[in-house]
Amino acid sequence: LNSNNKNVLFLLGTIELKLKNYDESIKLFKKNIKINKEDELTLNNLGIAYKNIKKLDEAKEVFKKILKIIIRI
């Protein structure tokens, strides 16, 4: 996928997450975060994908990042 559209990446990542294709969803969410570093929804879904494949340290770091973003707002 060569799309750099943040909305397309988010939606495709969410579809892959719902289909339990966690590795693919992680790739799409990480690509989206490179474009839109503080997108809480993308970060949340990334954290969920990490949690679902038992990468709990990565999930924890992503959720901490969301909290930092929210606290700044």
Spatial CA neighbour of 60 closest among 70, 68, 50, 52: 50
Answer whether 25's CB lies under 8 Å from 9's CB: no
Task: Indicate the pTM of the whole model.
Answer: 0.92
- Report the C-alpha gap between 42 and 65 in whole angstroms: 12
Over residues 3-37, the pLDDT tens digits come to 789 999 999 999 999 999 999 999 999 999 999 99
User: What does the angle CA 9 – CA 70 – CA 7 come to, to the nearest 5 degrees?
Assistant: 15
Spatial CA neighbour of 48 closest among 72, 10, 14, 8: 14
Query: Average pLDDT in the 33-60 region?
Result: 97
